[in-house]
C-alpha cells in the first residue's frame, strides 16, 4: 500500500502490513485445520486454500492492525455460514485481497479483480414514479443503503470510545437535517421503556446481532455507541452502528417508489457533505 513521500529524499514510502502475534497465529492455525476437515459449504472454505492461508495468516492491515482472524473468525466458528468473512476495516479489502477478491466475484456472479465499480450516479431521480397509484397491490415501499464513516475501522476493531465518538458525530450531523428529513436521534444507551416501546411499535428498533455477527466481534460494548434517528414523518430512518456504521432507510406506505428514492438520495447526499464516507476507487463505498 502506498504511503506518503519521504521529506528528506522525496521517495515514495510504502506501508508494510504489520505481523500478527503468536496467540493469534495459533488460533488461526487451529481454526483453519477444523474448517478444512469440516463439511462446510461456505465461500470461506472454498477459497481459503492452504496456499492463500499461508500467504495471509501473518499479515495485519497497516492503519488499524486487523488480522486474518478478524476477517474469518465468524466463518471459523460457524461452519454453516454461507460466506464466512467480514471486513474489519477498509484496508482489509486490499491487505487480504487474495481471499476477498475471489469471494466477491463468486458471490456477485462476476466482478473480477480487474473490474471497477462505476462512479456514483443516482441517475435521473424523476424516472421512478408511483408504481401503484390506485393502491391495489403495494402495501409499502422501502429503499436503503449502508455506509461507513471514513477514518474508523469497522465493528470488530472499534473501541468503546470510538463507538461513543461516532454516535456523537452521527447525532450532531443528523440533528442538522432540515425540511422533510428533520427529526430526532435516540441513543440505545439509557433509553427509557416508553421510548423503547414506541420504537418497537414503529418497527424501528434493532436488536443485538445474531451468532454470526457476535462471532465476528460486531456486537462488542452493546448498546454503547448505538442509536436510531427518524424524521418527524417516520419516512426516513438511520441506524447508527447496528451492523454497519450507518444504515440509511427511506420508506412509506403505498407504491410511490419515486418519492421514496428521491428522499433517500437527498438524505445520503446531505449527510455525505457532513460526514465523509469510506470509499474505494475499485470497490465503491465500503461496508462491514
Residue 16, SS3 per DSSP:
coil
Instruction: Determine if residue 220 is labeled as part of a ligand binding site.
Output: no
CA gap 205, 10 in Å, rounded: 52
In the three-class reduction of DSSP (H, G, I as helix; E, B as strand; rest coil), residue 94 is classed as helix
Measured from the Cβ of residue 57, the count of other Cβ atoms closer than 10 Å reads 19
> Can you read off the three cell numbers belonging to residue 71?
476477517
The reply, when asked if residue 127 is annotated as ligand binding, is: no
274 is in an annotated binding site: no
| Terminal C-alpha separation, the chain | 20
- C-alpha–C-alpha distance, residues 226 and 190, integer Å: 11
Q: Is 141 annotated as a binding residue?
A: yes
Q: Is 143 annotated in some ligand binding site?
A: yes
Alpha-helical (H) ranges within 38-110 are 43-47, 50-56, 68-77, 92-95, 97-107
The reply, when asked if residue 142 is annotated as ligand binding, is yes
Q: Which residues does the annotation place in the binding site for ATP?
A: 140-144, 203, 247
Residues making up the binding site: 140-144, 203, 247
Amino acid at each position: 500500500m502506498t504511503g506518503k513521500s519521504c521529506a528528506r529524499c522525496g521517495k515514495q514510502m510504502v506501508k508494510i502490513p504489520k505481523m500478527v502475534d503468536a496467540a493469534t497465529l495459533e488460533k488461526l492455525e487451529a481454526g483453519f485445520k477444523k474448517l478444512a476437515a469440516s463439511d462446510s459449504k461456505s465461500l470461506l472454505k472454498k477459497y481459503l486454500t492452504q496456499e492463500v492461508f499461508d500467504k495471509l495468516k501473518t499479515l495485519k492491515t497497516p492503519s488499524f492492525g486487523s488480522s486474518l482472524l478478524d476477517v474469518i473468525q465468524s466463518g471459523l466458528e460457524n461452519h454453516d455460514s454461507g460466506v464466512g468473512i467480514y471486513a474489519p476495516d477498509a484496508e482489509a479489502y486490499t491487505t487480504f485481497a487474495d481471499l476477498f477478491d475471489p469471494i466477491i466475484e463468486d458471490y456477485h456472479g462476476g466482478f473480477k479483480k480487474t473490474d471497477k465499480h462505476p462512479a456514483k450516479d443516482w441517475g435521473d431521480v424523476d424516472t421512478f414514479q408511483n408504481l401503484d397509484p390506485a393502491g391495489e397491490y403495494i402495501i409499502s415501499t422501502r429503499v436503503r443503503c449502508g455506509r461507513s464513516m471514513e477514518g474508523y475501522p469497522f465493528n470488530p476493531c472499534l473501541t468503546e470510545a470510538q463507538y461513543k465518538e461516532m454516535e456523537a458525530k452521527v447525532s450532531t450531523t443528523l440533528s442538522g437535517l432540515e425540511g422533510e428529513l428533520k427529526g430526532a436521534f435516540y441513543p440505545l444507551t439509557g433509553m427509557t421503556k416508553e421510548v423503547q416501546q414506541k420504537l418497537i411499535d414503529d418497527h424501528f428498533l434493532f436488536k443485538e446481532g445474531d451468532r454470526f455477527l457476535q462471532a465476528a466481534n460486531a456486537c462488542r460494548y452493546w448498546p454503547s455507541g448505538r442509536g436510531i434517528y427518524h424524521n418527524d414523518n417516520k419516512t426516513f430512518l438511520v441506524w447508527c452502528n447496528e451492523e454497519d456504521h450507518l444504515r440509511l432507510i427511506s420508506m412509506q406506505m403505498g407504491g410511490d417508489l419515486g418519492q421514496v428514492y428521491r428522499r433517500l438520495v437527498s438524505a445520503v447526499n446531505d449527510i455525505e457533505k457532513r460526514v465523509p464516507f469510506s470509499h474505494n476507487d475499485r470497490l465503491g463505498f465500503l461496508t462491514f
